[in-house]
Amino acid sequence: MEDEVEFRSTRLDSTRNTPLTALARAGAEAFGYTARLRIPRELAQLLRLRVAQLNGCPYCLTVHHAAARAARVPRAKVECLVSWWETELFTAPERAALTYAERLTSSHGSTAEQPFQAVHEAVAAHYAPEEVLEIAAVVINMNIWTRLKLAEGAMPTMAVEPAVPPLDDRVPTEVSEGGRADT
């Protein structure tokens, strides 16, 4: 049986801020893991999972590992995503999109020697402008969600299985006509 996880918020209740939750929900509907996108579902899920890794969001990691399985992302890609650049598992377009996601998530990596424009041009070499915009939207949406869940303190805990009631010491010896066990 697969481990079941429950979440509890340990810091903030974001539902008390209607504009914030509306923003997050609108992004999820348009660019979340259930949205219909132009870019391949596998790529979108890899981007979401990578942003969750970069931002250290346990809620998003849990949700998007499950979503990656549902999207049939190859297990090797999911397992090696944390060091994707050290593998030959990812296509050139995926590598460009992952680089784009990392730089958009951690923009402090942009320098005079490595401007964001070069990263944009690399991803644009593989994807149509509408797809690049969608890649950006998926990444931006995930950054909103990872930061929201971190602020909430969305803490995964192991789901507690209901306790099994103690067995009755009495052992039925006979079943009466009414279907009751007599002891």
Note down pLDDT in tens along the chain; length 183 residues: 457 888 888 899 999 999 999 999 999 999 998 999 999 999 999 999 999 999 999 999 999 999 999 999 999 999 999 999 999 999 999 999 999 999 999 977 667 777 899 999 999 999 999 999 999 999 999 999 999 999 999 988 888 765 555 555 544 445 445 545 444
pLDDT at 113: 74
pTM: 0.82
pLDDT at 109: 63
Domain containing residue 81: 5-160
Question: Quick check: is 39 in a domain?
Answer: yes
Question: Quick check: is 172 in a domain?
Answer: no
Distances (CA, A) of 99 to 21, 73, 102, 116, 149: 29, 18, 5, 10, 24
Question: Quick check: is 176 in a domain?
Answer: no
Question: Quick check: is 182 in a domain?
Answer: no
CATH of the domain at 132: 1.20.1290.10
pLDDT at 1: 40
pLDDT at 163: 56
pLDDT at 8: 87
Q: Per the structure, how many domains does the chain have?
A: 1
pLDDT at 182: 47
